[in-house]
Amino acid sequence: MSIFRIKGGNKLKGEIIPQGAKNEALQIVSAVLLTDQPVTIHNIPDIRDVNKLIELVGDLGAKVEKLSKDSYRFTAANVNTKFLESDEYRAKAAALRGSVMLLGPILARFGKASLPKPGGDKIGRRRLDTHFIGFQKLGAKFNFDSNNQYFEIDASKLEGTYMLLDEASVTGTANIVMAAVLAKGTTTIYNAACEPYLQQLCSMLNRMGAKITGVGSNLLTIEGVEKLGGTEHTLLPDMIEIGSFIGLAAMTQSEITIKNCRIDMLGIIPEIFRRLGIKMEFRGDDIHIPAQEKYEIESFIDGSILTIADAPWPGFTPDLISIVLVVATQAKGSVLIHQKMFESRLFFVDKLIDMGAQIILCDPHRANVIGLERKQTLRGIKMASPDIRAGVALLIAALSANGVSEISSIDQIDRGYQNIDTRLRALGADIERIP
């Protein structure tokens, strides 16, 4: 298993282009199964989770053409639903959490589907209830084979209905939307997720002939249509990468320009980093972070300690909580980090404490970070990456630390960040991948 060896303390400089959004890619690539017409997608990130899903779509019988390094054309004219019953499908789908996104399109177009219990990160339970309750409300019937850990779903008669989601799940909403676009009648989804990824999916489906209104709000109305046509779509840049690079620049006192950020779709992300004292300037659609010796965490107006918590969009994304926590370790001041959504996502802080950070882990969801104000630099250690986002947070910590760090289990990082070592070396980072 590969490891990253990082010699910290280098100041970085240069420009970096964020990859296409991983979370959007998983939804958009799944949506190609909704039509028999060609769908062209640009800015697809070259990362394991997305590549595996593309492979799975190809295995199902869709024609997959690679047009350039990040553009693909999909034509799902001859889909083999029998493949869903094969052992090969079970093995591949079980290894990939994103495979659950195939359910909505397959149910909508073919009336039945099956799915093994999906895999993914060890960041706490990630319920599939929202997906299944949504399908049930549309008229699907499903069975769970507990012996084989396998879901079987019959959706031969999907009809539109009103539903109030139990949680504003991004993947749950996307899956239900994809099932509802071809259902008979009108579907209304309240407490729908409204993340940019979902807005992108809805806009693409509308270009294909769907009738979705309320895009960008938590109330979606979908009028079912008979069939969908082809389209062309460009993915947003990955806002998690953009946030990671802002954090990286601050931690390593580097001057970095992040190109083509689609700032209009970043929501509150830049503002949260500004509250940590990080200066940045918007230059058209680029974000320039100047080299900063020190940065100071703001307190609330009444003088109380700043709290940063994740929340459904337009709140702060949980995927950047790990990054913010690391960045706060070298700031002046204190901050309470409250990770509400996943109960195991803060378990990586013990590695940061080993590196010399001052963090009080209050419980699985909350950590109080006492900034060191660079009076004490982090030190390099050997550690393992528990999940995608924690992996990159530890990578940022290692790049700012004194001495050499080694990060194992980097396949977790590769699942979400394409060629991250090559791109960081281009900025001047001392990082090597050791097989």
Write down which residue in 186, 218, 234 finishes a domain.
Answer: 234
- List, for residues 388-435, the tens digit of each pLDDT value: 888 999 999 999 999 999 999 898 888 889 999 999 999 999 999 998
Tell whether the model's pLDDT for residue 207 goes beyond 60: yes
In DSSP terms, 384 is beta-bridged to 408
Amino acid at 261: C
Domain final position from 234, 262, 294? 234
- How far is residue 2's CA from residue 280's CA, in Å, rounded to a whole number? 34
Domain co-membership, 164 together with 312: no
Is 58 found in the same domain as 11?
A: no
228 and 265 co-located in one domain: no
In total, how many domains does the chain have?
Answer: 2
Q: Taking the C-alpha atoms of 195, 196, 197 and 198 in order, what is their torsion angle to the nearest 10 degrees?
A: 60
Check whether residue 102 and residue 86 sit in a common domain. yes
Tell me the pLDDT band of 125, cut-offs 50, 70 and 90. Answer: very low
pLDDT tens-digit readout, 275-294: 999 999 999 999 999 999 99
In the chain, the percentage of residues whose pLDDT exceeds 90 is 78
Element (H, E) at 432: strand 430-434
pLDDT tier at 117, thresholds 50, 70, 90 = low
Q: Which residue has the higher pLDDT, 364 or 186?
A: 186
CATH code for the domain of 134: 3.65.10.10
430 and 397 fall within a common domain: yes
DSSP tag of 82:
G
Average of per-residue pLDDT across 320-339? 96
Do residues 158 and 266 both lie within one domain?
no
In the chain the first and final C-alpha atoms are separated, in Å, by 6
Q: What phi and psi, each to the nearest 5 degrees, are found at residue 423?
A: -70, -35
Concatenate the DSSP letters of all residues of 288-338 into one string. Answer: EE---S--B----TTSPPEEEEB-STTSB-GGGHHHHHHHHTTSBSEEEEE
Residues 8 and 31 in one domain: no
Read off the pLDDT of each residue in 33-47 and give the average, rounded to a whole number: 97
Spatial contact of 144 and 151, defined as CB atoms under 8 Å apart: yes
32-63 CB burial, b ≥16 within 10 A, e <16: bbbbbbbbbbebbbebbbbbbbbebbebbebe
Whether 150 and 242 share a structural domain: no
What domain range includes position 284? 3-19+237-434
Look at residues 33, 431, 42 and name the one whose alpha carbon lies nearest to residue 234. 42
The residue written with tokens 């109030």 in the block is 164
> pLDDT grade, residue 120 (50/70/90)?
very low
Q: Which of 241, 249, 385 is nearest to 330 (CA)?
A: 249
Q: Which residue has the higher pLDDT, 422 or 150?
A: 422
Q: Pick from 234, 257, 282: which residue ends a domain?
A: 234
Averaged pLDDT of the chain: 92
Same domain, 198 and 246: no
Q: Does the structure show a pLDDT above 60 at 121?
A: no
Q: Grade residue 210 by pLDDT with cuts at 50, 70 and 90.
A: very high
Question: How many percent of the chain have pLDDT more than 70?
Answer: 97
5 contacts 181 by C-beta, under 8 angstroms = no
Q: State whether 291 and 303 are in the same domain.
A: yes
pTM exceeding the 0.95 threshold for the entire prediction: no
Are 295 and 338 in the same domain?
Answer: yes
Once rounded to an integer, what is the mean pLDDT over residues 309-321? 94
Catalytic pick among 49, 121, 310, 319: 121
The whole-number pLDDT of residue 33 equals 97
Instruction: Give the pLDDT band of residue 122 (cuts 50, 70, 90).
Output: very low
Is 121 an annotated catalytic residue?
A: yes
Mean pLDDT of the 323-346 span:
92
3-class SS of residue 113: strand
User: 241 and 196: one domain?
Assistant: no
Say which residue, 303 or 225, is predicted with more confidence. 225
Q: Is 262 helix (H, G, I), strand (E, B) or coil?
A: coil
